[in-house]
Structure 1
């Protein structure tokens, strides 16, 4: 089996490599190709990848290349983990929205739109080249904003599934609190990418006992502390929102915080400098502890599970993925991309039935879906008016004066990445 990682020079990649090595019985990779235009980073990461494989007794071959076409040729699955513009662009995404009193974040609000505009054309170009070279390959997208990027891929007719690590993080967290194995925990996970709620926590499968009320009663303080939301809010909701909901439920509080501390991009950039130095140490043959602070926890396990299921070799029967709605949530269009539990196999994901949602969540999902429609239109066709419409539709912006100013700043900060600007 050949797998290709586009963006293989990312400092995330050793997390993925570690998963491939540990879980080789689930996903028997014979050749792993890391593709990246940044040759120096790629060689550092590739060297560590080979040492991790060797230490764990994995017999697969790790290949590094800057040639996308040869890298994806013959691959059964292609994983996308891109950051167009690098941490420098992320730094901007997290900074200029704050000047207007809006959240600065790489996947939410104006910063998230900027990332979508930079990313969608690049991903679609990569996917077209994959299709020309290897039309049967599955594309697994871990590139943010996952929902918008996955929808772009699906609309263009690609065999694509979006993946995020929020759900697997909750699964692992809840399993630890409950004293069970992660495979025993089935989440009632529903929403859009980075806009999700855990509406149930069932033991043993989708028909098992729902222990969410007990989980909140016994461990509500710990869960709330992780989310940086009040325990009282979780009790009133009766569900567990993802930590990205803090940008909506405590927007002004978050803006005040972000204005008084270094950006997350600056922190990550410093971590990346340290990690790349570590990766260059020929004695290092395992992922360093610092990588856990970089983000993307459990990414490798989720990626292995999904790839194994899509390729017919195993994997969990039910997984949280990003895919077309197709009637799962009746208040959204069929071609909206939702993030829910799905039965996953070689023909792709089939979302499981979702109980009727409280309007408190359904309404916000419908609003953000409308924004994502407009965001994708702006990413595909460009133009100041389309950017303005997307920003005006976003529930974290919504005022024309803000949308006007943010449009100008978004374009000014991203001209080198926007062909139409």
Structure 2
């Protein structure tokens, strides 16, 4: 089995490598190719990756290349984890929206749109090259904004599934609180990427006992603290929202906070510099503890599970993925990309049935789905007016004066990445 990681020079990669090494019985990788245009980073990450495999006794071969076509040739699956513009672009995404009184964040709101505009054309070019080289390869997208990027891939006819680590993080957290194995926890997870709610927590599988009320009753304070939302809010909602919902439920509070501290991008950039220094140590043969603060917890386990399921090697029978709606949520278009539990196998993903969704959540989903449709149109065809309409449709923007100011700033800060600007 050959897997290729595009964006293999990312500081995330050792987390992925560690998962491949530990879970080799689930996903028996024979060859792993790391592809990245940044030669220096690729050398550092590739060296550590080989040492991790060697320490854990993994027999697979790890190679590195800057040549995308060579790297994806013959791959059974290609995992995308790239960041167009790097941390410098992320720093801008988190900064200029604040000038208009809106949330500055890399995956949602105006910053998320900027990232989509930079990313979609690049990902589609990569996917076309994968298809020319190996049309049977699965594309697993971890590149944000996952929902929009995955929709672009599926709309273009690629064999693609989107992946996010939010659900597996909740699964692991709830398992600890309940004192059970993560495999025993099944989430009723519904929404769009970075706009999801846990509406049930079941023990033993999709038909198991729902213990969500027990979780909120006995551990509500701890869960609320992690989400940085008041416990009474969770009790009134009766669900556990993704931590990204705080941008919607406490928008003005978050804007005030973001204006008084260094950006997350600045923190990550400093962390990445230290991680790359550590990766260069020839004695290091395991992922460092600092990597846990970089983000992406359990990313490797989710990726192994998904790849194993798609390639027929095993994995969990039900997994939370980003996939086509196809009537699962009747209030959304069939071609919307939703994030839900699905059966995963070599033929792809099939969403499990979802019980009726509370209008409180369905309304926001419908709003953001409409925004994502406009955002994808802007990413594919360009144009100031399309950018403006996407921003106006986003519930974190919504006012024409904000949308005008954000449109000007978005284009100004991203001109080098926008072929039409």
TM-score category by the smaller chain? over 0.9
Match of 2:308 in 1: 308
Match of 2:400 in 1: 400
State whether structure 2 residue 353 is matched by structure 1 residue 382: no
Match of 2:177 in 1: 177
Match of 1:43 in 2: 43
Match of 1:57 in 2: 57
Q: After TM superposition, give the deviation of residue 282 of structure 1 in Å.
A: 0.1
Q: After TM superposition, give the deviation of residue 72 of structure 1 in Å.
A: 0.3
Please list the CA deviations of residues 304-358 of structure 1 after superposition, one character each: whole Å capped at 9, or x if unmatched: 0000000001000000000000000000000000000000000000000000000
Aligned to 1:4, the other structure's residue is in SS state strand
Match of 1:242 in 2: 242
State the alpha-carbon separation in 2 of the partners of residues 399 and 142 from structure 1.
31
Match of 1:361 in 2: 361
Match of 2:280 in 1: 280
Please list the CA deviations of residues 255-285 of structure 1 after superposition, one character each: whole Å capped at 9, or x if unmatched: 0000000000000000000000000000000
The normalised TM-score by structure 1 is: 1.00
State the alpha-carbon separation in 1 of the partners of residues 379 and 209 from structure 2.
43
Q: After TM superposition, give the deviation of residue 6 of structure 1 in Å.
A: 0.1
Match of 1:131 in 2: 131
State the alpha-carbon separation in 2 of the partners of residues 266 and 401 from structure 1.
29
State the alpha-carbon separation in 2 of the partners of residues 109 and 396 from structure 1.
6
Q: After TM superposition, give the deviation of residue 90 of structure 1 in Å.
A: 0.1
Match of 2:79 in 1: 79
Please list the CA deviations of residues 115-172 of structure 1 after superposition, one character each: whole Å capped at 9, or x if unmatched: 0000000000000000000100000000000000000000000000000000000000
State the alpha-carbon separation in 1 of the partners of residues 56 and 107 from structure 2.
35
The normalised TM-score by structure 2 is: 1.00
Match of 1:413 in 2: 413
Match of 1:218 in 2: 218
Match of 2:252 in 1: 252
Q: After TM superposition, give the deviation of residue 293 of structure 1 in Å.
A: 0.1
State the alpha-carbon separation in 1 of the partners of residues 54 and 397 from structure 2.
50
Match of 1:200 in 2: 200
Which 4+ runs in 1 deviate beyond 3 A?
none
State the alpha-carbon separation in 2 of the partners of residues 40 and 97 from structure 1.
32
Match of 1:267 in 2: 267
Match of 1:334 in 2: 334
Match of 1:228 in 2: 228
Q: CA RMSD in A?
A: 0.2
State the alpha-carbon separation in 2 of the partners of residues 258 and 313 from structure 1.
44
Aligned to 1:234, the other structure's residue is in SS state helix
State whether structure 2 residue 350 is matched by structure 1 residue 345: no
Number of equivalences = 421
Q: After TM superposition, give the deviation of residue 373 of structure 1 in Å.
A: 0.2
Q: After TM superposition, give the deviation of residue 361 of structure 1 in Å.
A: 0.2
Match of 1:93 in 2: 93
Q: After TM superposition, give the deviation of residue 17 of structure 1 in Å.
A: 0.1
State the alpha-carbon separation in 2 of the partners of residues 396 and 56 from structure 1.
46
State the alpha-carbon separation in 1 of the partners of residues 82 and 103 from structure 2.
23
Q: Within 5 Å, give how 1:92-131 maps onto structure 2.
A: 92-131=92-131
Aligned to 1:255, the other structure's residue is in SS state helix
Q: After TM superposition, give the deviation of residue 30 of structure 1 in Å.
A: 0.4
